[in-house]
Amino acid sequence: MPAKCLKCGDDAIKTCPCLSAQYCSVECQREGWKAHKKWCCHFLQGKLDEKSAEVGSDSLALLDSWLDLGQIHLRCGRVARAEECLNESLRLDELHHPSDGGAV
What's the pLDDT score for residue 101? 59
What's the pLDDT score for residue 100? 64
Among residues 28, 51, 55, 29, the alpha carbon closest in space to that of 40 is found at 29
Distance between CA atoms of residues 75 and 6, nearest Å:
17
Residue 1 in this model has a pLDDT that exceeds 80: no
What's the distance, CA 40 to chain centroid? Answer: 6
What beta strand segments (E) does the chain contain?
14-15, 22-23
Which residue would you say has higher pLDDT here, 101 or 98?
A: 98
Structure confidence by residue, pLDDT tens digits, 60-85: 999 999 999 999 999 889 999 999 99
Residue 57 in this model has a pLDDT that exceeds 80: yes
Among residues 70, 64, 63, the alpha carbon closest in space to that of 96 is found at 63
Distance between CA atoms of residues 91 and 68, nearest Å:
15
Among residues 29, 30, 35, 33, the alpha carbon closest in space to that of 15 is found at 29
